[in-house]
A and B are shown apart, each in its own frame.
Chain A
Amino acid sequence: MSGFGGQTAPDPSKPKLPGNLHTNRRLAQWLTFRADGVVLVHPGKVEIGQGILTTLAQIAADELDVEFSRVVLTPASTPGSPDEGVTSGSLSTQDSGSAIRHACADARRIFLSVTSQRTGVPIESLMVRDGAFLGPQGQVGSYWQLADAALLEVEASPDAKPKPVGERRVVGRSVPRVDLPEKVFGVARYVHDLRLPGMLHARVVRPPARAATLLSVPEAPAGTQLVRDGSFLAVLAPTEWQAEAAATRIAARATWQAEDTLPDQGGHATYLREAGARGERTSVVTRDDAAPGVARTEKRSFFRPFLAHASIGTGCAVAQWQGEEVTVFSHTQGPYNLRADIAKTLRTTEDKVLVRHMEGAGCYGHNGADDVALEAVLIARAVPGVPVRLLWTRAEELGWGPFSSAMLVDVEADVAADGSLVAWRSHIISNGHSSRPGRAPLPTLLAASQLATPFAVAPSVNPPMTNGGGAPRNGVPYYRVPKLDIETSRLLEMPIRTSALRGLGATLNVWSIESMLDELAAAAGEDPVAYRLRHLDDPRARAVLEKVAAMCGWATRSKREGWGLGIGFARYKNTGAYAAVAAEIEAKERVFCRRLWIAGDAGEIVNPDGVVNQYEGGAIHGASVALLEQVSFDRRNITSTNWQDFRILRFSEVPKVEVAMLNHPEAPFLGAGEASMAPTIAAIASAITDALGVRPRSLPFTPEHLA
């Protein structure tokens, strides 16, 4: 989604350059050679646990012909880094990798050309070996010798030619991740580990309801300092434990006027229908091709609850003011976007806000990382010159970050007499799936609406379908259907704040489509895999489905009491990576997913093990969503604010996973992080039907939803 606002608009008079090089055209923005034999690469994308730093370093090493160990990635920061928007949407390898590949190819061409001019050795006689330029008579130069020559202070040329596939040596190898050693040895690396001289610690005191006005505050405990702006309340202390104790004490004594603004969770689906009817209804796609007559129509509805990001670490930021300027260290996904919203909230200009990325715990979408950064900035304003570290508690992380919207979809499918799909009509009802900062006129960060001069909260929006859509993401079947009528209703009220979480609407939509296909196949007396295959034209889609069927022994499966096997397929966003998943479940007092088989196709693969890791992680995330996850709330607030009330899979419950990737080195990058999650949910639902004979209609697939 990085192309969706928040970035500098491309100049239409300039030739097209790959990925985000198009909007960040100066080569020096992307790489710097150092005289000591190191090349610094400066992506605007950030490490969020997905291993992108390693992938980008591989691409750079290959194009430059330097050893991998010479490539050092610098963390993104404003204003120096390329503005690559947000690290999201499984687009980092496409957006940033394509840019770095081209920029490095161009840098190599420029350096060789200058060396050729200076030495008289024809450029076609020069080769690069680990950064040294070799002519027929031996070494004639290197990147490192020309490091000071400012050769990269130019716009990239569209004529640079990256290496042909057959000459890549580092790309396509499972290079170990560059970030993992420090994480395994407990080296300070996360923003949480940043310790600046004189740093104070902060905690926020949260209101008792989503809609609450702060009426009175008690005295700050000795040695601590209250910071208040409207209903935003925090406490500062010299140590973390003092801040923690003071926040607890103040929370017990502050008085608020709180209101009931949340829907009744018991009638959540009804609420979605009613609020959807008051919302904004739009057509996603229509198609009206010639088709055989309709023999039968099936109608079904599917529901999923709000989902939490549930990162194992909580949000953290360190902010420090110097005069009119503030620097904030943050695990944001989009440093420039965060900068924009902090500036809007402070009613200042963006040049006064410096955002420096440091890693946080795993990020699966728009969580509270940006919110905590603004809050650290607001608190630090009370102590000019002093660095302030703000950490969210577990209850804040599970209770106050944006959630993935609850959703409802009504699906109707018409089939012909031979069981073929004729028409597909669906209506997807949901809050919007993006309230990311930096894209709207008003700031979207949590505290902005709580200040003494507050900003209004705009309901979340959906990215356009050209970027994969939000609620309707993967809502259009990838199968051949002559007639389509897909609509979506976006809620214009937002009692619970929503934004992007891995897969966005695909989490529900893929399952609804796959469940319908299973049912239609059964009604037609056909095998579900064969039924899918006869509606799939894309050979790459067919290939992953056939592969996963072979992996799980689909054709020769046998029935076991209490066990089930199911299958699910999707191409993420219908334009991204492919994933076919088979799930084996055991139905006991509740459902356990025991094994997953995944066949994937992510286009060209830079780091095979990294892609497998992403597919596997996404599938386990999907299994957790399928079997356990739901946000709970009362009329005032979120109540699932600890790990007992918001359950995720534990080690003893995690399925074994086998992944096979079909590599296409000549094909474009398709991303990997989000492809497997939704088809895993669909496969588990299908396996439940195989085991128990019931078709799940509501997530999660807990005993009460399967009754």
Chain B
Amino acid sequence: MTSFVLNGATVRAEVPEGTSLLHALRGPLGLSGPRYGCGDEQCGSCMVLVDGVPAYACTLGTEAVAGKQVVTAEGLGSMAAPHPLQAAMLAEQAGQCGWCLSGILVSASALLARNADPSEDEIRLALDPHLCRCGSHNRVIRAVQRAAREMRA
């Protein structure tokens, strides 16, 4: 059993040692934002923030986040109070199937936390761990730029 802070609330994940954080989040903790895509750190669908740093939940053992802060797409904002990145994704209609978006949101939030005004190349580089098959990349980049503008304002 591992205790950590998930999206602001202390939780206890009752999973055997060695179980991935992704399984804990989607299983007993009941979240849907972190998604399985490859299980091997190659697509970014499962990305979460661990103490503010993007991490692949698919390969990270749950016990590794004991006592840490874990944030998922659900923790960034809600429909009632969206994170500027979530609002920007909707404003730019930055998605088709949407599978990749929750992981992208997590990485983009970490980027904007350390760089309030990233260049387009910096955004592309920060999102390079994330695969998108629908071809929404340019819209996603515009959404990150829009969110950055709004967060600076």
Do the two chains bind? yes
Does B115 have its Cβ within 8 Å of any Cβ on chain A? Answer: no
Of chain B, the residue at the smallest CB distance from A310 is B133
A620-B135, A654-B137 known; A393-B90 Cβ under 8 A = no
Q: Give complex CA distance A347, B8 in Å.
A: 52
1/0 contact trace for A591-619 toward B, CB 8 Å?
Answer: 00000000000000000011001101111
Q: How many pairs of residues, A versus B, come closer than 8 Å at their CB atoms?
A: 171
Q: Are A312 and B36 in contact (CB under 8 A)?
A: no
Enumerate A293-349 residues with CB–CB distance to B below 8 Å.
Answer: 310-314
Partner among A181, A190, A643, A651 whose Cβ is within 8 Å of the Cβ of B90: A181
A127 to B80, CA, bound (A): 36
A176 to chain B, nearest CB (A): 6
Inter-subunit contact A179/B73 (CB<8 Å): no
Instruction: Count residues of B near A (Cβ-Cβ below 8 Å).
Output: 59
B104-142 contacts to A, CB under 8 A, are: 105, 121, 123-125, 127-128, 130-141
Contact B39 A241 (CB under 8 A): no
Query: Are B39 and A312 interface neighbours, CB within 8 A?
Result: no
Contacts of A652 in B (CB 8 A): 121, 124-125, 128
A425 to chain B, nearest CB (A): 35
| A contact residues around B36 at 8 Å (CB) | 192, 313-314, 391
Q: Chain A contacts of B73 at CB under 8 A?
A: 184-186
Q: By the criterion CB–CB under 8 Å, are A187 and B32 in contact?
A: yes
> Which of A51, A240, A360, A391 interacts with B96 by CB under 8 Å?
A51
A258 within 8 A of B: no
Inter-chain contact A176/B26, CB cutoff 8 Å: no
In the complex, what distance in Å separates the CA atom of A48 from the CA atom of B99? 11
Q: Do the beta carbons of B32 and A619 come within 8 Å of each other?
A: no
Contacts of A311 in B (CB 8 A): 97, 99, 133
Residues on A with C-beta less than 8 A from B31 are 186
Select which of B72, B99, B121, B123 is within 8 A of A312 by beta carbon. Answer: B99
Contact present for B136 and A184 (CB under 8 Å): no
Of residues 73 through 89 on chain B, the ones whose CB sits less than 8 Å from some CB of chain A are 73-74, 77-79, 82, 86, 89
Could you tell me if A240 and B27 are in contact, using CB atoms closer than 8 angstroms?
Answer: yes
Q: Are A362 and B97 in contact, CB atoms less than 8 angstroms apart?
A: yes
- Which residues of chain B come closer than 8 Å to A616, judged between CB atoms? 135, 138-139
Query: Do A619 and B45 have beta carbons less than 8 Å apart?
Result: no
Contact of A49 among B74, B78, B98, B121 (CB under 8 A): B98
Asked if A188 is an interface residue, CB under 8 A from chain B, the answer is yes
B43 at the interface (CB under 8 A from A): yes
- Measured between alpha carbons, how far is A174 from B92 in the docked complex, in Å? 11
B138 contact set on A, CB distance < 8 A = 616, 654, 656-657
CB atoms of B95 and A184 under 8 A apart: yes
CB distance from B81 to the nearest CB of A (A): 10
B contact patch SS: loop
Q: Please, which residues of chain B bring their CB within 8 A of the CB of A228?
A: none
CA distance A619 to B27 in the complex (A): 37
Known: A192-B35, A192-B36, A650-B128. A186 touches B133 (CB 8 A): no
Interface readout for B24-40 with A: 1 if CB under 8 Å, 0 if not? 00110011111111111
Residues of the A chain whose Cβ atoms lie less than 8 Å from the Cβ of B69: none
**In the complex, A188→B102 CA distance in Å?**
12
The complex places the Cα of A50 from the Cα of B131 at a distance, in Å, of 18
Task: Give min CB distance, B20 to chain A, whole Å.
Answer: 7
**A145 proximal to B (CB < 8 A):** no
Does the CB pair A185–B82 fall under 8 Å?
A: yes
What CA separation (Å) do A176 and B31 show in the bound complex? 25
Task: State A192–B96 Cα separation when bound (angstroms).
Answer: 17
For A620, list chain B residues within 8 Å (CB). Answer: 135, 137
- In the complex, A170→B127 CA distance in Å? 35
Say yes or no for B100: interface residue by CB 8 A criterion. yes
A188 to chain B, nearest CB (A): 4
- The interface bits of chain A over 616-646 (1 if a CB of B lies within 8 angstroms of the residue's CB, else 0) are 1111110000000000000000000011100
Contact A48 B97 (CB under 8 A): yes
Contact across chains for B40 and A312 when beta carbons are under 8 A apart: no
Question: Which of B20, B123, B139 gathers the greatest number of chain A CB atoms within 10 Å?
Answer: B139
Tell me the bound Cα distance from A700 to B134 in angstroms: 19
Q: Is B42 an interface residue (CB 8 A)?
A: yes
Residues on the A chain within 8 Å of B127, using CB: 651
A361 at the interface (CB under 8 A from B): yes
How distant is the Cα of A527 from the Cα of B79 in the complex, in angstroms? 53
Chain B residues within an 8 Å CB radius of A310: 133
Does A193 interact with chain B (Cβ within 8 Å)?
A: yes
Query: Would B93 and A609 count as touching, CB distance under 8 A?
Result: yes
The answer to whether A241 and B19 touch across the interface, beta carbons within 8 angstroms, is yes
- C-alpha gap A361/B101 in the complex (Å): 11
30 A-B pairs whose Cβ atoms sit less than 8 Å apart in the complex:
A180-B98, A183-B98, A185-B73, A185-B77, A186-B32, A186-B72, A186-B73, A186-B74, A193-B32, A240-B26, A241-B15, A241-B19, A241-B23, A311-B99, A312-B45, A312-B131, A312-B132, A362-B134, A391-B36, A613-B136, A613-B139, A642-B42, A643-B38, A643-B42, A651-B130, A651-B132, A651-B137, A652-B128, A654-B135, A654-B138
The 5 lowest CB-CB distance pairs between A and B, nearest first, are: A186-B33, A183-B98, A49-B97, A620-B135, A617-B135
Known: A362-B96, A616-B138. 20 other contacts (CB 8 A): A176-B90, A180-B95, A184-B86, A184-B98, A184-B105, A185-B74, A193-B32, A239-B27, A240-B23, A244-B23, A312-B45, A359-B97, A361-B133, A391-B36, A613-B96, A613-B136, A620-B137, A621-B133, A642-B42, A654-B135
